[in-house]
Structure 1
Amino acid sequence: MRFTPLVVAASLLAAGSAIAGPCDLEIESNDAMKFNKDSLAVPASCKKVTLKLVHTGKMPKVAMGHNWVLVKTADMQAVATDGIPAGADKGYLKPGDARVLAATKLIGGGESDTISFDTTKLKAGEAYSFFCSFPGHVGLMKGTFALTK
């Protein structure tokens, strides 16, 4: 078979979701309490970001659950601490906490969750962080998030 530009273009269109755009992110978590990335960035031109969290581990949510929570860096520790009493059913996040800018649900090994969030209220140059709110995980499972110009 000869690969003409038309055949290549058709193949790429058929792949569809295999090609992520600049506003689409994916991050993995595992049973060793680690994210596979310690920083994420999207162009400031992205008005909406889609993020997929994949738990590559095997342990259940009750033992090694993970989520992805976006906050201003200055709020991270307080959000993590204030969320513990909320419990696993609420993803260890205080209900209605305005400091939480985006969050996936809490997932266990072999699970994934995808969210989309509006970035129009975020500012390029401001310090944002992501973390896992499962009790005790914030110390190891955290990173930076940025809007780039």
Structure 2
Amino acid sequence: MRFAPLVIVASLFAAGSAFAAGPCDLEIEGNDAMKFNKDSLSVPASCKKITVKLTHTGKLPKASMGHNWVLTKTADMQPVANDGIPAGPAAGYLKAGDARVLAATKLIGGGESDTVSFDGSKLKAGEAYSFFCSFPGHVGLMKGTFTVTK
């Protein structure tokens, strides 16, 4: 029984490691008050693949309070949001094939989540990136900075 404590500690460490997100795996929440729980996200430039999980912690359906997570260069944020409105909810309020959209989750409602993974090597340290929700009118409150660190 001398090894029992060691086994327990090793098991706890292994379980904790399985749930620990790395620096390239990010999580963010949106709610019914039209707010993200974070106003900035960052990843190291060494990330080859970046994964962002969006969880809608509210209760309202996506038809009335849908949220998504969209990444663009900061200068492109408002034009992408404006150009996406005519695309409608089925397209996540994003214009089809818009090359300015660097990554985006699908539009989700209360209690739902979605994950997007994208090529981190296409992002550059020092470039100004922003994330936002493209649901009409949400970009004013639901936005933040996305930084690639050296």
- Coarse TM-score class (shorter-chain normalised): over 0.9
Q: Give the unaligned 5+ runs of structure 1.
A: none
Residue in 1 aligned with 2:38?
37
- What is the distance in 1 between the residues matched to 2:92 and 2:34? 16
> Structure 1 residue 81: deviation in Å?
0.2
**CA RMSD, aligned part only?**
1.4
Q: Offset of 1:18 from its aligned partner?
A: 1.5
> What is the aligned residue count?
148
TM-score, normalised via structure 2 length: 0.94
Matches within 5 A, 1:1-149: 3-4=5-6, 7-149=8-150
CA distance in 2, matches of 1:135, 1:3: 55
Letter in 1 for 2:106: K
TM-score calculated relative to the size of structure 1? 0.94
Displacement of 1:115 after TM fit?
A: 1.1
Pick which of 8-17 and 56-65 moved more.
8-17
**Distance apart, 1:9 and its partner CA:** 3.2
Amino acid at match of 1:89: A
- How far 1:15 moved relative to its partner? 4.2
Of residues 7-16 and 69-78 in structure 1, the stretch that sits farther from structure 2 once superposed is 7-16
Q: Secondary structure at the match of 2:122?
A: coil
Matched to 2:35, the amino acid is K
Q: Deviation string for 1:91-133 (max 9, x for gaps)?
A: 0000000000000000000000011111111100000000000
1:31 offset after TM fit, Å? Answer: 0.1
Unmatched runs of 5 consecutive residues or more in structure 2: none
Amino acid at match of 1:119: G
SS in 2 for 1:63: helix
Where 2:140 maps in the other structure, the secondary structure is: coil
